Every structure is written in structure tokens, then in C-alpha cells.
Amino acid sequence: MHDRPQSVVENEAAIDLRSKLESEARAEYKNTTPPLSIEAMRLLVYDENKRRLEAGQDGFNCLVIEANDLIKTIKKIQTIPLTDKPIRIQLLVKHDQHYYGIDILLSKASKECLGFDAGGDIRGLMGINKLIDITDPDGDIFFTKIYMPSEEDPQLNPQKDYESCHIFAFDQLCQSSRIDIFSYLQNRISNFQHENDTNLYALHWDEMPPQLVWNTQSISWLEFYMTKHKSEIMNVLPGLNTTFVGYLAKVKDHDSSLNKEINVSVKILFLDYQNRMRALLKNMPDNELIAITSNTDVLNLQLQPSVSEHKDSTEILDDNAVLDKLKYLVQNKLFWQKRFNTTSDTPPSFMRELQALLADTKSKEAMLGEIVKLAKRKVRSSMFTPEVMTFYKELAALTDESNNSIARNQTIRRISLDYDALRQIEIELKNQNIVK
């Protein structure tokens, strides 16, 4: 029997790989959908790096590895020549069907890492703990500090399901790599639990910056986080170009089967990752696809400089940006598919977000005008019921500090385009003792 030509074997391998990745890129998102393969994650890492470089940003120094190769990879990292200027390397680690992330800072002065497992899975926590005792060629402990968020109560972890680990780990690495996360942690290190004679600093997830927790699947946890980080949640966040509050407004949904709000950002990210994969697979040559999805050597990374300063932007949204957030909330959330037609069945957190946005707006008149325009659209779409009028009355009242009945009545009159409709609505509202 003759051996098959190498070119034939390689061609068949490429066909099988492409078929596998295309299948993953088309898979329907379900709660039981397994994590993406290691080849798919390498393709996404390649795409993220490519996008950043094309945008003139620092590259994404990330490598996707198997857990069995973690220590070997750290040993290779120790051979990288260091200068006074730090570099950052991210590791997306796959253990069986589970993923977790490690972000590493390297310089002559310091060697630190942040390890996180959004689900608190024992495989991730054990992998991160293996880094504690790693030594350098001289026998000294390699990492001067190891940060690890963890919770004794699993309900406090960002990830609540068993399938989204790859989404959490990849996105958290993407976000942490955009900021000087180590300065952020150093500034808060006195709050962390530190065992004497170790380099491990344990912290809670609510002590992490917004970018690392914004996909948390528990809405109640996110609301708690917002009360603790009141200043940060209104800042424009790098990599997202919106605020924490603005982001949550886009990813919250009301699950009628559960009768509660849920964070659907994991699904949104999964669909985005699939779109990225399909776009890459459409034109990528076989040899390039194989090379990208088989890279396991950290020394092959084209290392980019570290983020030099913590990008905790202090920029506060201006009036126009806040109006955009309000418009999105009202158009696409409160009345999307007639989901919430009154304030009574509007989830309280949506109203709190609206109040926060209104409170941050300098021009009350501009905000009121926007509310009027939104309400007028409801008149034209024949959805302007007394309940809807009541909702806009209450919403508009939030813009008036005196909150008096005259202001509310003026607002109601400004809203309507149709005199007859206004008269009928006012009669109904008077019957309900809403308008005096």
C-alpha cells in the first residue's frame, strides 16, 4: 500500500477544518450549545488582533492554549526579553470543554497576572492557582502579584450557565487588554484578601472595573454593582464608546416565561462571533486558516506595547448622547413589540435608568422635547392610549424639578398632534383622576 501524498492529506485536513468551523458559525444559539472549539477561538483572536491593527490601535497579544500547555507557555514567556516598558500577553486557556482567561503584565520591574474564571469553575481556579509557585530560571517566584476574582457563593459569579465560558473568557480578555487593569487593581489592593508569604490577591467580582462584569447574567447583581460604582457607570468606557448604563439598556430583555429581566449580551456576543467567523471563512485560503488555528507558540506573537495608562475615561455623556440613550430605551425597549405599554408593567430598572439619564442631562427642555417627539410617533401609529399618555406624563414629569400638576398638564397638551384625540384622552384621564 502506497502512502497518500502529503498534499492530499493536507487538503483533506483543510476541508474537514473548514467544514467544522462553518458548522460552528451556523449553529443555533441555545442554552445547550457547547462552547466553540479551540480552532474557532483562535480564529476569533486573529480577527480581534487584525481589527485593532487596522484601526491603528495596539494589537491583541492573545494566545489560545490547552490547559496542559499552560506551564510550558509560561516558561516560554520567561524567555522574552524585557525592557522598562511593560508588555501585556493574554492567554485563553481551554480545559476539556471549559475556558478561562489569564492576563499577564511583564517588565523588568514587575511581573503580574490576573486570572479569571467567570463561572468559578474548579478547572479554571486550579489552573490559575498553579501560577503561584512558578519560578524563574534563578529559582525565584516568577509572578510578584497574582490577582484572582472569586466567590464562595456561586450566585455571585458573572456566568450563571454551563455553556458560556468561552464567551465570558474571550470578551473579558478583550476588555482587560484595552485598559491598564493592573494599575486599576494596584490602586485598590488594600481591599483585597492577601495571604501572608504568597503572591495571591483574592478579590470579589464587584471590585472589578465595569468592562469585566458588564455581561454578568444576573440583572439584580448588576443593579447592586451600579449602586457601588455610581461614578464609573456614567463614564464612557473604552472599547464600547458608551457608558455602563447605556450598554445595559441595550442588552436587557424581559423574559415572559421567567417573568423577569435577563441580560442577553452573551447571546449577542455569540451571534457576533459567528458573523466574524463566517466573514473570515469566506475568503481565507486553506494554508492561512490552518496556520492561524494551529498556532500554540507564544513566541510567534507579534508583541505590542502595553497600555500605558488606565483608560478609565472621565468623559461624561453630553446632552445629545444622553438623548440618544433615552431614545433607544423608549423606542426599542419600553415599546418594542408593544412589550411595555404602561409604567406599571415597565420593569423598575428601566425606569431607574431613565431617571439616571434624565438626572445627568443639563438641558431639561431638550429632554422634554425629545419625549414629546417620541410620544407623537405613538399618536401616528395609533398606539396612543390613555395608558401610554400616562406613561409619557410620568416620564415628562421627571424632567420638571417642581413636579407640579401645571407642568404635567402642559406636557400632555404639547404631546398630542390631534385635537380630538387629545380631548378624548383628557376626558379619560380626568375620569381616572389622573389629570385634575
Residues 334, 212 within the same domain: no
pLDDT given for residue 261 in this prediction:
81
Q: Is pLDDT above 70 for 159?
A: yes
Maximal CA-CA distance, the chain? 96
Residues 200, 326 within the same domain: no
Mark which of 198, 216, 234 sits at the end of a domain.
Answer: 216
Residues 37, 184 within the same domain: yes
Residues 36, 185 within the same domain: yes
Task: Name every residue whose Cβ is closer than 8 Å to that of residue 134 and which is 6 or more positions away in sequence.
Answer: 71, 74, 75, 141, 142, 143
Residue 140 lies in a domain: yes
Q: Is pLDDT above 70 for 34?
A: yes
Mark which of 216, 245, 269 sits at the end of a domain.
Answer: 216
Task: Name every residue whose Cβ is closer than 8 Å to that of residue 188 and which is 6 or more positions away in sequence.
Answer: 203, 207
- Cell 490559575 belongs to residue: 128
pLDDT given for residue 239 in this prediction:
63
* Pairing of the two strands 193-194 and 200-203: antiparallel
235 secondary structure, DSSP code: B
pLDDT given for residue 101 in this prediction:
97
- Cell 472589578 belongs to residue: 208
How many structural domains comprise the chain? 2
Over residues 71-118, the pLDDT tens digits come to 999 999 999 988 888 899 999 999 999 999 999 999 988 999 999 999
pLDDT given for residue 272 in this prediction:
93
Residues 53, 180 within the same domain: yes
Mean pLDDT, residues 291-297: 85
pLDDT given for residue 154 in this prediction:
82
Over residues 327-360, the pLDDT tens digits come to 544 544 444 333 444 444 445 554 555 555 555 4
Mean pLDDT, residues 38-48: 96
- Determine contact, residues 398/353, Cβ cutoff 8 Å: no
Residue 247 lies in a domain: no
Q: Is pLDDT above 50 for 418?
A: no
Q: Is pLDDT above 90 for 275?
A: yes
Residue 310 lies in a domain: no
Mean pLDDT, residues 168-176: 96
* pTM of the predicted model as reported, rounded to 2 decimal places: 0.69
Higher pLDDT, residue 56 or 379: 56
Residue 241 lies in a domain: no
Residues 192, 324 within the same domain: no
Residues 17, 149 within the same domain: yes
Residues 25, 140 within the same domain: yes
CATH of the domain at 196: 3.40.395
pLDDT given for residue 316 in this prediction:
36
Q: Is pLDDT above 60 for 62?
A: yes
- With bands split at pLDDT 50, 70 and 90, how would you rate the model's confidence at 246? confident
pLDDT given for residue 139 in this prediction:
92
pLDDT given for residue 234 in this prediction:
76
Residue 255 lies in a domain: no
Helix (H) or strand (E) holding 90: strand 87-95
Residue 309 lies in a domain: no
How far apart CA 269 and CA 249 sit, in angstroms, is 15
Over residues 18-29, the pLDDT tens digits come to 999 999 999 988
Range of weakest confidence among 108-122, 131-145, 387-401: 387-401
Residue 305 lies in a domain: no
Task: Name every residue whose Cβ is closer than 8 Å to that of residue 320 and which is 6 or more positions away in sequence.
Answer: none
According to DSSP, the residues that pair with 87 across neighbouring strands are 106, 305
Percent of the chain clearing pLDDT 70 (strictly above): 64
Percent of the chain clearing pLDDT 90 (strictly above): 38
How far apart CA 144 and CA 124 sit, in angstroms, is 20
Q: Highest mean pLDDT range out of 70-74, 392-396, 404-408, 410-414?
A: 70-74
Mark which of 154, 189, 216 sits at the end of a domain.
Answer: 216
According to DSSP, the residues that pair with 434 across neighbouring strands are none
* Pairing of the two strands 252-255 and 260-263: antiparallel
Domain span at residue 39?
Answer: 6-216
Q: Is the dihedral of CA 342, 343, 348, 354 positive or negative?
A: positive
Q: Is pLDDT above 60 for 278?
A: yes
Higher pLDDT, residue 328 or 239: 239
Residues 153, 25 within the same domain: yes
pLDDT given for residue 333 in this prediction:
43
Residues 350, 211 within the same domain: no
Residues 49, 172 within the same domain: yes
- With bands split at pLDDT 50, 70 and 90, how would you rate the model's confidence at 392? low
Residues 164, 32 within the same domain: yes
* Pairing of the two strands 200-203 and 145-149: parallel
Across all residues in the chain, what is the average pLDDT?
Answer: 75
Q: Is pLDDT above 60 for 252?
A: yes
Mean pLDDT, residues 124-138: 92
